Structure 1
Amino acid sequence: MDASVGMDGGSATRNFLHHHHSRTSPPLQQPQISQIGTVPQLLSGGIAGAFSKTCTAPLARLTILFQVQGMHSDVAVMSKPSMYREALRIVNEEGFRAFWKGNLVTVVHRLPYSAVNFYAYEQYKNILKSIPGLESYGANKSADVLVHFLGGGLSGITAASATYPLDLVRTRLSAQRNSIYYQGIRHALRTICKDEGFFGLYKGMGATLLGVGPSIAISFAVYESLRSYWHSRRPNDSTVLVSLACGSLSGIASSTATFPLDLLRRRKQLEGAGGRARVYNTGLFGTIGQIVRSEGFRGLYRGILPEYYKVVPGVGIAFMTYETLKKLLSQGPCG
């Protein structure tokens, strides 16, 4: 997930963590731009998200390779997914740098995603506050949660839609093994438009948008319940430690619940890639049925292990980077 924005201790931490860990990238943020300028916040958030994703890129690539493994392989002869064996294969066949295949697109994707998210959230929040019943935002806790939740969902959908082609290109580059069909970001964008038409850049977007709501709801519910339970038992624990722990656990819960949709998105994104024949000719639910029939229910969770492994370091690295950059940039001339 991208970096969130917000300055006030625990709530800044909470909003940043919510915004960081989900694959569908829904923002749960409350921008407060009094202590640090908007541009430094966006830069801090974007760079922190990009750095975190670069550090966990090998695990992200393993997830994608496992997720799409059942598409063109005969399931009967497929080996049991082993992270160690797959990592060895990547090093031996593609070289060590191949762990970062597709990572440049992820980095390029971060800043526009953060920017669209930030500004869309502000706009949606203003619109929602003008709706009767929600005008008590900031004073009424339930109105607060609703504005936060709906604004987060809508800005997540807007940002995901605006930057979706980059997400699709990232999947295509990451899924390439030895035969290289797409040479880089620009070549991939040009080739997809030529081979599959402009709308080829939006394959799998339905699954992405479908995952935004549940992902926000689960993250938010798990995070808030864990945090209040923890505070009731150990009120003196460090706010940062509590936020990081609860942020990681809510990330794991959200990943588990929405992983089948993520797998679906990746497979839809690869439909017809490199001139290959289509595998799924039905809609989202037809495709889920096809995967369950051919690979079993476990097929929907292919690749979830590396996904779990990257949640905790991903959240920690992003948060620490964000805090450091925020301090540095607030001391600069534009702070």
Structure 2
Amino acid sequence: MSSKGPHTDSLDTWKIKMGTQKNPDKFFMSITEGERKPLDFLRVLYDGCIAGGVAGVIVETVLYPIDTIKTRLQVVRGGGQIILKGLYSGLAGNLAGVLPASAIFVGVYEPTKQKLLKSLPENLSAVAHFAAGAIGGAASSLVRVPTEVVKQRMQTGQFRSAPDAVRLIVSNEGFKGLYAGYGSFLLRDLPFDALQFCIYEQLRIGYKLAAKRDLKDAENAMLGAFSGAITGAVTTPLDVVKTRLMVQGSQKHYKGILDCVSKIVKEEGTHTLFKGIGPRVLWIGIGGSIFFSVLEKTKQVLAQRHTQDEAQN
């Protein structure tokens, strides 16, 4: 006669269904990716680069028109009209920058996150996610800023092609012209990256604990959309300042971040700092949904491939 009661039987049945009979802690450790196996830095870096590159290119291609409208809304002054032609202007050149930038970001974020999660107490997982997002953003900014400068100037009709844009920017403004608005970009994107990934990761942890299972693709997409929309709305003023500084070219209407904020508020009103918030929230919300679902799916496929390779060797 078994000494197990009905409660024990049901618990064991649940463990079998969850695939955790041999290691009951496996599922819960995987929630914060705090498993005790050594960190394979190169593999995590490689997988992160592949997953980030794939997710970044797909999001940029699908949502580029919304981003173009957002940029034109932020640049126009007074009662100027928004041009709706050429919404894919500069896409090809932008993808050439988005691919390595996204790869660098996730490639740095994933191993940094896992290292911090192993080093910090479990109740500080949010700090690990926030810090990893900021570090990943800083690393990718070396590629993202020139890409953003060229993209936004093409979106506003200043240049017809990416090669022409790069050549003329360097010719008229020097190499530093490709990094116009770099300070404002970091001011916007470091907190944006840190907040978005922190919110997303923390939501995933809570959802996993509540559901007692891994998330489905649709659930990852939902959490990605929510974290993207919230972060996009909060950082819109920083995005407006970044856009104005990047597209001003050699005119130098603004001397810097503080001067830009001051002139926008004085000449156009505080509400101008929230120009384009609708397209931005829509773009980043949908983008977050696509990005995180593609990211998680690609990571899952790569992990399965590694497992199969190890089984064959």
**Secondary structure of the corresponding residue to residue 239 of structure 1:** coil
**Secondary structure of the corresponding residue to residue 99 of structure 1:** coil
Aligned residues: percent identity? 25
* 1:269 counterpart residue number: 246
* 1:188 counterpart residue number: 165
> After alignment, is 308-317 or 183-192 more displaced?
308-317
- Tell me how far 1:213 sits from its aligned partner: 4.0
For 2:204 and 2:60, the matched residues in 1 are separated by 25
User: Equivalent of 2:89, from 98, 101, 115?
Assistant: 101
Q: TM-score, normalised to structure 1's length?
A: 0.68
- Tell me how far 1:257 sits from its aligned partner: 1.3
* 1:150 counterpart residue number: 131
1:138–1:144 Cα contact (<8 Å) kept: no
Alpha carbons of 1:120 and 1:279: their partners in 2 closer, same or farther (altered >3 Å)?
A: same
* 1:260 counterpart residue number: 237
1:239 paired to 2:215 = yes
Deviation digits for residues 138-182 of structure 1 (CA, Å, limit 9, x no counterpart): 572145443443233123112112442122101111111xxxx42
**1:62 is matched by which residue type in structure 2?**
I
1:47–1:110 Cα contact (<8 Å) kept: no
1:61 paired to 2:50 = no
1:284 paired to 2:247 = no
Mapping of residues 9-28 of structure 1, within 5 Å: none
Mapping of residues 123-272 of structure 1, within 5 Å: 137=118, 140-142=121-123, 144-176=125-157, 181-219=158-196, 222-223=199-200, 235=211, 239-240=215-216, 241-272=218-249
Deviation digits for residues 229-256 of structure 1 (CA, Å, limit 9, x no counterpart): 6678x63797234433232122111111
**1:271 is matched by which residue type in structure 2?**
Q
1:14–1:247 Cα contact (<8 Å) kept: no
For 2:30 and 2:248, the matched residues in 1 are separated by 39
2:45–2:110 Cα contact (<8 Å) kept: no
Aligned residues: 276
Alpha carbons of 1:9 and 1:69: their partners in 2 closer, same or farther (altered >3 Å)?
A: farther
Greater length-normalized contact order (CA 8 Å, ≥ 6 residues apart): 1
- Tell me how far 1:271 sits from its aligned partner: 1.4
For 1:229 and 1:13, the matched residues in 2 are separated by 9
1:312 paired to 2:260 = no
1:110 paired to 2:79 = no
- Tell me how far 1:109 sits from its aligned partner: 1.4
Structure with the largest fraction of helix = 2
**2:226 is matched by which residue type in structure 1?**
L
For 1:215 and 1:41, the matched residues in 2 are separated by 19
Deviation digits for residues 185-244 of structure 1 (CA, Å, limit 9, x no counterpart): 222111101101111111111111112343245335644665566678x63797234433
2:224–2:291 Cα contact (<8 Å) kept: no
- Tell me how far 1:296 sits from its aligned partner: 1.2
For 1:266 and 1:225, the matched residues in 2 are separated by 30
Deviation digits for residues 74-107 of structure 1 (CA, Å, limit 9, x no counterpart): x2x446xxxxxx5xx52xxx4xxx2211222331
Q: Where in structure 1 are there 5+ consecutive unaligned residues?
A: 1-7, 16-31, 80-85
For 1:46 and 1:316, the matched residues in 2 are separated by 16
Q: TM-score, normalised to structure 2's length?
A: 0.72
- Tell me how far 1:124 sits from its aligned partner: 5.7
For 1:304 and 1:125, the matched residues in 2 are separated by 30
**Secondary structure of the corresponding residue to residue 100 of structure 1:** coil
Alpha carbons of 1:14 and 1:209: their partners in 2 closer, same or farther (altered >3 Å)?
A: farther
For 1:207 and 1:139, the matched residues in 2 are separated by 31
